[in-house]
Amino acid sequence: MDLAKITLVMGGQRSGKSRYAEQLIENAGGGIYLATAQAFDAEMAVRIETHQNRRGGLWQTSEEPLEIASRLRQFSTNQTPVLVDCLTLWLSNLLLADRNIETSLAQLDAALQACEGPVVLVSNEVGQGIIPDNALARQFVDCAGRMNQVVAEAADRVVWLTAGIPQILKGD
By annotation, the residues acting in catalysis are: 51
Q: Residue 1: which of 149, 164, 156, 133 has the closest Cα?
A: 156
Distance from CA of residue 38 to its chain's centroid?
14
Residue burial 93-107, b: 16+ Cβ < 10 Å; e: rest: bbeeeeeebeebbeb
Distance from CA of residue 144 to its chain's centroid?
11
